Structure 1
Amino acid sequence: MSRPARAGSEVSVDKADSASCRIETVYGVSQLTVFSFGPNEQDNILCLSVPTEESRPLVRIQSACYTGEIFRSLDCDCHEQLDESMRRIHAGGGYFIYMLADGRGAGLLTKVRGLALGDNEGLDTYDAYVRLGVEPDPRKYARVLSVLQHIGLSKIELLTNNPRKIEALRDSGISVDRAPLQIDPTPASAQYLEAKRTKFGHLLDSSLIRGDIEGK
């Protein structure tokens, strides 16, 4: 399958430009750091940090979903995952790491083409990418790993349902404990979550999802 072209190839924080500032949000106060690995926005990694004394701090790694996080699309759980992660990290400390990589790294244009296939042909997000000749989840975590190493994190509690993220971090030598992040499905998001569970291998409670699908 083809992979979307990605500008910028540097993966080391030592090669990245960075800037930090204090930021106050509805969740509380944190430190925002931008790591810029190239000339385009998708080459940036954002890190929100909240002080913590935990030896295994809470970490969330999330990639952008403009339709869900900005426009509040109902057919995914991305905004709700962001909201829950930010609440938990600001409550107890930790790190929220944000990849500007919409469409699971395939880009917004590919994502919207996939959504159109869902509208017109009923394809789920996995099968739509296959139809487009794109790897269903082309995200790479080398830059995220470089940021974690720069922060000095060798063991973390990772907010995720995605075993690929856990595997990527563990393969780099980081000790990972998983903290589940399942969002209650809605009739609009249940089929998307079922595709995540059955085709992407996400660690989700099938009984919750199936109930919403059957209730549609």
Structure 2
Amino acid sequence: MNTLAAPQRTASVRARVPVTLDRAAGRTAQLVTFHDLPDALEHLACVLPYAPQTVPLVRLHSECMTGDVFGSARCDCGPQLDEALAAMAEQGGVLLYLRQEGRGIGLFNKLDTYVLQDQDIDTFRANRIIGRGEDERDYRAAAAMLRALGLTRIRLLTNNPDKVAQLRDLGIQVDAVVPTGVHLTEHNARYLAAKAGSGHTLTLQRETTA
């Protein structure tokens, strides 16, 4: 009996996916998988076509199931994902979806910290209380993914200077840092204040929406 062979994953597999969500304006993206990454996790690249010979816009987006999938208002992850895909729908680019939930501490640990945050403890201190680091993410896998895609020069969409510093240390040339919007609401104000206090380049003004 004939059987279908699985794709050979020597470097990466590209699957054309019609992204029909409003966030990507119905553009067709390529979802790219990788193997032999430094952390052995199943990270994914979403590539929207960009003009040749240009320095593409890149977003490193750490997985946030609560915000990206379920629309949690406790953070700004979902709106940042929407913003990045909308920008790339216009000009093309690469979104690396990194499986580093909760700044690298995992989904269940992140939900444990939510209980502490409800006791007026900020997100970084809550991580420390449960015995984890404030931010355990590293971007070696991201740098490897970019190289696999043939990218060593990028424009990085971020407000996080640590992403810029780590990528540069890993040999990725960041030509420009493009700031993300400040998606401030009454529900995530304390969270964003903690991010600003940790060094993120955020200006928190009275943009709060209900």
TM-score bracket relative to the smaller structure: 0.7 to 0.9
Could you tell me which residue of structure 2 aligns to residue 133 of structure 1? 131
Contact 2:11-2:148 within 8 A present in 1 as well: no
Q: Aligned-pair distance for 1:17?
A: 6.5
The 2-side partners of 1:184 and 1:67 are apart by 16
Cα gap change, 1:212/1:55 in structure 2, threshold over 3 Å: closer, same or farther?
A: closer
Task: Tell me the TM-score normalized by structure 2.
Answer: 0.85
Could you tell me which residue of structure 2 aligns to residue 71 of structure 1? 70
CA deviation vs aligned residue, 1:119-174 (integer Å, no higher than 9, x gap) = 2x211111101111211100011111001111121211100010110001111222
Where do 5+ consecutive residues of structure 1 fail to align?
A: 1-14
Could you tell me which residue of structure 1 aligns to residue 82 of structure 2? 83
Range with bigger deviation, 82-91 or 150-159: 150-159
Could you tell me which residue of structure 2 aligns to residue 98 of structure 1? 97
What residue identity is the alignment partner of 1:143?
A: A
What residue identity is the alignment partner of 1:191?
A: R
Contact 1:49-1:95 within 8 A present in 2 as well: yes
CA deviation vs aligned residue, 1:63-88 (integer Å, no higher than 9, x gap) = 11111111111111100000000010
Could you tell me which residue of structure 1 aligns to residue 160 of structure 2? 162
- The count of aligned residue pairs is 194
Could you tell me which residue of structure 2 aligns to residue 8 of structure 1? none
Q: Runs (4+) of structure 1 moved beyond 3 Å?
A: 15-18
Q: Secondary structure at the match of 2:61?
A: strand
Q: Mapping of 1:14-163 within 5 angstroms?
A: 18-25=12-19, 26=21, 27=24, 28-37=27-36, 43-53=41-51, 55-119=54-118, 121-163=119-161
The 1-side partners of 2:130 and 2:10 are apart by 32
Select the structure that is richer in helix.
1
Q: Aligned-pair distance for 1:52?
A: 1.2
Q: Secondary structure at the match of 2:126?
A: helix
Q: Secondary structure at the match of 2:97?
A: strand
What residue identity is the alignment partner of 2:168?
A: R
What residue identity is the alignment partner of 1:21?
A: A
Could you tell me which residue of structure 1 aligns to residue 187 of structure 2? 188
The 1-side partners of 2:49 and 2:181 are apart by 25
Could you tell me which residue of structure 2 aligns to residue 10 of structure 1? none
Cα gap change, 1:135/1:182 in structure 2, threshold over 3 Å: closer, same or farther?
A: same
Q: Aligned-pair distance for 1:36?
A: 3.9
What residue identity is the alignment partner of 1:100?
A: R
What residue identity is the alignment partner of 1:145?
A: A
The 1-side partners of 2:125 and 2:111 are apart by 14
The 2-side partners of 1:20 and 1:116 are apart by 40
CA deviation vs aligned residue, 1:24-68 (integer Å, no higher than 9, x gap) = 112111111122448x9x811100111212521100000111111
Task: Tell me the TM-score normalized by structure 1.
Answer: 0.83
Question: Which of these residues, 169, 172, 175, is aligned with residue 174 of structure 1?
Answer: 172
What residue identity is the alignment partner of 1:75?
A: R
Cα gap change, 1:100/1:16 in structure 2, threshold over 3 Å: closer, same or farther?
A: farther
Output the aligned Cα RMSD. 2.2
Where do 5+ consecutive residues of structure 2 fail to align?
A: 1-8
The 1-side partners of 2:182 and 2:54 are apart by 27
